[in-house]
Amino acid sequence: MTLMAEPAAGRFGDFGGRYVPESLVPACAELAGAFREAWADKTFRDELDHLLAVYAGRPTPLTPALRLGGELGIDLWLKREDLAHTGSHKINNVLGQALLARRLGRTRLIAETGAGQHGVATATAAALLGLSATIFMGSRDIERQRLNVFRMEMLGATVVPVTSGSRTLKDATNEAMRAWVADVPHSHFLLGSVGGPHPYPWMVREFQRVIGTEARSQVPSVPDVVVACVGGGSNAAGTFAGFVDTTARLIGVEAAGGAAMTAGAPGVVHGSRSMVLQDAEGQIAEASSIAAGLDYPGIGPEHAHLGALGRAEYRTVTDAEVVAAIHRLARAEGIICALESAHAVAWVLRAAGSADLPAGSRVLLTLSGRGDKDMVTLSEGADK
């Protein structure tokens, strides 16, 4: 199979759609039209490709993890999004959307952020293109990702603490959407993942497709397994896009405390129908993960669709496995990855040699970001 070029009415099977207030419908429709047009416009594509190359550092390398792979009895290749500018794959989507915002005459970027990686990337693109940026971040995430708050502010962005609800990504997303409703003529809502109303799941997957396209051309042979962490699921969506038409199994790894695919039920939150952690009445549950970027009760609708089809599989790992995985990768390969990315590593560590990942498997793992931002969290954990 291939992924839908443009999902009709924003639907991926039973999932997706555009569940937003009427006030936002025209803006979503305008954005869908603008993206469709830009994505077919060679000038736009060339400008984005140029920025990705000379500014974001693409293509990112594919690193054979020889020592860790050897210890595990598998061939392990790491797609190094941690080496992209700003330290994660988030820059791919942000540069695309920021160019689109400028094309639409918007002067202000509004974004939500969890770990701060998307916020930093948005602040970066705003600085580069001369736009203003307002970043909504849960106050709990601000406490545990203070370094990224400093980075955003240094780049000229305004960081707005969100104190409602669980004070994490879910609530930051609510607040960003509220800010968007109030400033539609000037603002572009720069959503960081493959969730939200149409066209975001489609558009963000397309902007992240570069991960999978590059990796496909870099791997020595088609992998048996392609694995990436999923919160909202943007790095996984971009990676899967390059391999969905191959024989590779696609594995998304969720945080045990934020496992929308594994423990959720169909629901509507933040503009689309997807799998959502919720109670029997439909109140959205508060996720709980050591990785702020995965601390989210939902997932992008295309993942829900791929999961329903059985084309992609979703697994969970615990916080403890994630911390162990960061240390193991660091010692074996000299790479300190982000807590989020370490979820994919943790699954490989657990599954290698089992029926889920037999010895000799060829594995492509997208390392979505670097771990600098997590040093405080990890050192505090080590003190305990």
Partner 1 sequence: MIPYGGKALVPYVTGGITADWTSYVLAYEAAGADAIEIGLPFSDPMLDGVTIQQASDRALARGATVDGILADLSEIKVGVPLIAMTYANLVFRAGPAVFCRRLAGAGITGLIVPDLPVDEAAAVSAAAADAGVALILLAAPVTPDDRLAEIGARSRGFVYAVSLMGTTGERDTLDASASRLATRVKAVTDLPVLIGFGVSTPAQAATAAESADGVVVASALMRRVLDGATPDDVRTDVAALRAALG
Q: Looking at 170, 289, 368, 373, which residue is catalytic?
A: 368
Q: Smaller CB distance to partner 1: residue 185 or 334?
A: 185
Neighbours of 379 (CB within 10 A): 9
CA dist., res. 29 & res. 108, Å (int): 19
Residue 112 falls in the annotated catalytic set: yes
Q: Smaller CB distance to partner 1: residue 78 or 172?
A: 172
Closest by CA position to 124, among listed 159, 86, 150, 82: 86
Residue 321 falls in the annotated catalytic set: no
CB of 189 to partner 1, least distance (A): 12
What 3-state DSSP class applies to 168? Answer: coil
CB of 259 to partner 1, least distance (A): 18
CB of 164 to partner 1, least distance (A): 6
CB of 101 to partner 1, least distance (A): 18
CA dist., res. 33 & res. 218, Å (int): 33
Q: Smaller CB distance to partner 1: residue 198 or 209?
A: 198
Q: Looking at 79, 90, 170, 373, which residue is catalytic?
A: 90
Closest by CA position to 118, among listed 179, 173, 60: 173
Q: Smaller CB distance to partner 1: residue 99 or 276?
A: 276
CB of 106 to partner 1, least distance (A): 15
Cβ within 8 Å of residue 10, ≥6 positions away: 16, 17, 18, 32, 197, 198, 199, 201, 202, 272
| Rounded-to-10 torsion of CA 338, 340, 345, 347 | 160
CA dist., res. 277 & res. 262, Å (int): 9
Q: Smaller CB distance to partner 1: residue 286 or 372?
A: 286
Instruction: Spell out a b/e string for 190-218, using b for 16 or more CB atoms within 10 Å of the CB, else e.
Output: bbbbbbbbbbbbbbbbbbbbbbbbbbbeb
CA dist., res. 298 & res. 275, Å (int): 6
CB of 20 to partner 1, least distance (A): 6
Residue 166 falls in the annotated catalytic set: no
Closest by CA position to 284, among listed 179, 199, 164, 117: 164
347 touches 227 (CB < 8 A):
yes
∠ Cα 48 54 56 (to 5°): 75
Closest by CA position to 137, among listed 109, 102, 174, 106: 174
Quick one: tokens of 286?
């508060």
CB of 18 to partner 1, least distance (A): 6
Cβ within 8 Å of residue 195, ≥6 positions away: 201, 232, 233, 270, 271, 272, 274, 298, 299, 300, 301
Residue numbers at the binding site for partner 1 (CB under 8 A) = 9, 17-23, 25-27, 164-165, 170-171, 174, 177-178, 181-184, 265-271, 273, 276, 278, 280-284
Q: Smaller CB distance to partner 1: residue 164 or 217?
A: 164
CB of 203 to partner 1, least distance (A): 18
Q: Smaller CB distance to partner 1: residue 18 or 209?
A: 18
Q: Smaller CB distance to partner 1: residue 279 or 383?
A: 279
Q: Looking at 81, 112, 214, 302, which residue is catalytic?
A: 112
Residue 182 exposed, middle or buried by CB count within 10 Å (0-12, 13-18, 19+): exposed
Q: Which residues have a catalytic role annotated?
A: 90, 112, 368
